[in-house]
Amino acid sequence: MGEERPFPGEAEIRAEDELAEFDDRDLPSYVGAASFQKLPWCPDDESLRRARPEVAIVGAPLDDGTSHRPGARFGPRAIRAATYHAGDLYSIQVGTEVFSVVRCVDAGDAPVVPSRLGRGHRVIREKVRGVAEAGAIPIVLGGDHSITYPSVAAVREVQGAEVGVVHFDAHADTGLEVWGSLLSHGTPMRKLISEGWVAGRNFVQVGLRGYWPERETFEWMREQGMRWHRMVEIEERGAEAVIDEAIAEALEGPERVYLSIDIDVVDPSAAPGTGTPEPGGLLARELLRAVRRIVSRVELVGMDVVEVSPPYDHAELTAALAHRCVLEAIGALAAKRGGGLPTDPRPGDPGSP
């Protein structure tokens, strides 16, 4: 490289070969490759096997299950783009380099096409299964929430053991049908439980509020042994106590957890770009802290972040929050390896995240 020392009056440090001066990974996020955080792009079994990732991002750009405002099919692209950082990242929350500790790749998108919801679910299931079989934790970017049905099923299949689910949402998504459709973003959790992929008592919901579903559906949920924590409970007890209980409930039996985040669990003031916004939700910082806490305490076997609808977003707020949910999860995995700060600190601990 050329002269590195700036001289008085000079406005830049010039390299000798400016075309080769920065690796793609170190270029600004809006320049060059468009994978999640510019991670290696491993769209097929062969490249996945070679990379041997611990975490693989999967796009599920499908919104044919949407009941109200559409647009979540554009979510994966928007979430991938919602960063302004380059290279490896040092997480201030957990005090460690995220991507040099945890080997991550972007496995690309499930090859969905519009207007074919059943096919979309089948290819998402195949895609997620391929990632899980390669030994990676799939982190799926939705897409509407119907994608959790094929995603959890695939993870459960590969694990071959019981899996608990912690599900953040304003809505229970346990409807039998929505306007006669059994495949909808209002029904995936019902299907997962009634088809036996997850035991009702290990399916734990956090953040429910508003006006859907109706009483009969909650009665069905109770019959399944499901546990749920409404937003009013969080208001009364605080997010921390509720999250700790949710973790314990998901793990009553299973040793592994799948984490599903409908971004509408967060208040629309911080997550406006979503299909069915419900005022009075979590703070962004409460959700990010909950993600760190859960991932640091459980064996995470899969995760999704869904219902980001970029056409309804403002200033990319919602995409940025969804992106950070993924980063916080990977950061917590990195911190678990040691070297980082505690992700589960007591008040007053140095470096409490």
Q: Which residues lie near Mn ion (CB under 5 A)?
A: 145, 169-171, 173, 262, 264
Minimum CB–partner distance for residue 99 and Mn ion (Å): 29
Is 51 or 303 the residue whose CB approaches Mn ion more closely? 303
Rounded CA separation 327/276 (Å): 24
Minimum CB–partner distance for residue 62 and Mn ion (Å): 14
Minimum CB–partner distance for residue 151 and Mn ion (Å): 13
Check the CA dihedral 263-268-272-274 and report its sign.
positive
Give the three-state DSSP class for 171: coil
Is 48 or 172 the residue whose CB approaches Mn ion more closely? 172
Question: Burial code of 12-27, b = ≥16 C-beta within 10 A, e = fewer?
Answer: eeeeeeeeeeeeeeee
Is 145 or 190 the residue whose CB approaches Mn ion more closely? 145
Minimum CB–partner distance for residue 38 and Mn ion (Å): 29
Interstrand relation of 104-109 and 96-97 (parallel, antiparallel or unpaired): unpaired
Is 171 or 297 the residue whose CB approaches Mn ion more closely? 171
Give the three-state DSSP class for 303: strand
Is 39 or 221 the residue whose CB approaches Mn ion more closely? 221
Largest CA distance in the chain: 75
Query: Among residues 295, 270, 274, 293, which one has the least CA distance to residue 283?
Result: 270
Secondary-structure breakdown of the chain: helix, strand, coil percentages, each rounded to the nearest 5: 40, 15, 45
Rounded CA separation 156/111 (Å): 21
Is 163 or 231 the residue whose CB approaches Mn ion more closely? 231
Minimum CB–partner distance for residue 324 and Mn ion (Å): 19
Minimum CB–partner distance for residue 58 and Mn ion (Å): 18
